[in-house]
Structure 1
């Protein structure tokens, strides 16, 4: 019996076949639940197949192994995080609002996709080169999006802009992770506002291109 036929037989009473893209999405969702609940090392392909309601041959038709499945999940979420930060930077020309939007992008991701956030930033497989590369790609992609904005508005050199951007990304990522782990004790909107205010106070000290820096001690 082929894997497709086997899958059809075991799913009697419900849709027997899904388009490949829909099946892949279903398998990724099941894998995410298992990986977050058990961690990569404890999760088994048997567990993922059972959670998805398919046979192992069907699972292997889409993903040749557990690592490939895990990496596919990371790719999906990595792209989503970077896109959110890029959208935040493009959402307004007001730099104060851009900072708020960047912070909000992280808190939104944590709030609405907490499993995905844990998968990317709390992986128990960070020493695996392919996993580490993807996590670093998320951080570098977010830093790059903010760096370009800092350069275009302040005129500081790229190395300095990257350093500033890494500070904003690190603060947003760490604060959002802490907020989630602490059980969302502070209302989300207030948490975002607090971090955005803290970050903006620092970035606002850098003048826009063509402007002079405010006198020392003067508020931006």
Structure 2
């Protein structure tokens, strides 16, 4: 049962959803339609039907399909960023930080709702507003990682950012490949392998005041 169906099943008949709840319901319906059909093939009629509302109700919340898509994109970009930040803050052990961050990317792409496809594999990625958001979340994730690298290694901001972009990019690309290839490697094993690869590289930059291992 989808989130939309669960909402409808638990809502007493004859009651109206609060505005925020209705908006979330519409975003959930839009996500299902966009993931299944792609942006260009999806129609506002399809989204309204999936949400079980009339088109006027849908347009009361979102003036058009692009605005609806961007609202959904903002939601999922923020979700990824918060997951990466939480992973970095989950421990002070840097090897475990690498593992937690890798796992955050794998968890994101494995989400059954297919949110990562909206962010990284959309048929609308050439739209300036979409491209701006995708680039922004990648940059902000890298900035979060680079702050930890700079603090622990004493590398400059530019040097730390370069390493952070590399780590984030590897995590994202490998996690997406792992999912799309329907790899038989379990997620925990995939995260462990990628963590080992990344750690052997980043561990070459010692903590301030220590010698390299």
- When normalised by structure 1's length, the TM-score is 0.89
Shift of 1:112: 2.3
RMSD of Structure 2 on Structure 1 (CA) = 1.2
Aligned partners of 2:136 and 2:122: how far apart in 1? Answer: 15
Q: Residues 32 and 113 of structure 2 are in contact (CA less than 8 Å); yes or no, is this contact kept in structure 1?
A: no
Give the structure 1 partner of residue 133 of structure 2. 134
Q: Which runs of 4+ in 1 moved over 2 A?
A: 13-16
Q: Would you say how many aligned residue pairs link Structure 1 and Structure 2?
A: 202
Give the structure 2 partner of residue 47 of structure 1. 46
Give the structure 2 partner of residue 10 of structure 1. none
Give the structure 1 partner of residue 72 of structure 2. 73
Give the structure 1 partner of residue 124 of structure 2. 125
Give the structure 2 partner of residue 83 of structure 1. 82
Give the structure 2 partner of residue 200 of structure 1. 199
Secondary structure of the corresponding residue to residue 58 of structure 1: helix
Give the structure 2 partner of residue 155 of structure 1. 154
Output one character per residue of 1:6-64: Cα deviation in whole Å (capped at 9) or x when no partner: xxxxxxx9344101111011000000011011110111000000000000000000000
The structure number with the bigger radius of gyration is: 1
Aligned partners of 2:112 and 2:158: how far apart in 1? Answer: 32
Alignment of 1:162-177 (within 5 A): 162-177=161-176
Aligned partners of 1:25 and 1:59: how far apart in 2? Answer: 11
